[in-house]
Amino acid sequence: MELLFFVLAAYGLTQILVYSDMPVLKWLRPSKDSLRGYGKLFHCPMCMGFHVGWFLMLLSPFTDLFSFDVGLSNFILLGSLSSATSYVLNMVFSDEGIKIASQNTYKPVSIEEDYFIEEE
């Protein structure tokens, strides 16, 4: 259950940091072109999700929702878990609800009436 709380907290915080229209966050969030191109990190849920993961690991001793040991292995594992789940959930859910995209390449063939030859 702790892992579920961690994933949901990481996803929520990532969504707020990347997409929020709050004036304070818009002011703090650099543009994509700033910081010699590293400003893109603040607009990418996968990138920001990693940093949210290790940040939540550092907060875990101060919360009852989840408790993880603070160490290098958890830094990498929880950052990666947060990055992956934030990206996947971001690709599944949007402001309009569940995203359903079809990349169906099937093109129906129309069969004309005179295609079949009747045998006499």
Give the dihedral sign, CA 73/78/81/82: negative
pTM for this model (two decimals): 0.74
| Spatial separation of the C-alpha atoms in residues 78 and 14, rounded to whole Å | 14
- pLDDT, one tens digit per residue, over 62-97 is 998 888 989 999 999 999 999 999 999 988 887 778
The parent domain of residue 57 ranges over: 2-98
Rounded to 5, what percent of the chain is helix, strand, coil?
Answer: 60, 5, 35
Inside any domain, residue 108: no
Bigger pLDDT: 55 or 38?
55
- pLDDT, average across residues 19-30: 83
Inside any domain, residue 116: no
Inside any domain, residue 34: yes
pLDDT of the residue at 35:
80
pLDDT of the residue at 9:
94
Inside any domain, residue 37: yes
pLDDT of the residue at 71:
92
- Based on the structure, what is the number of domains in the chain? 1
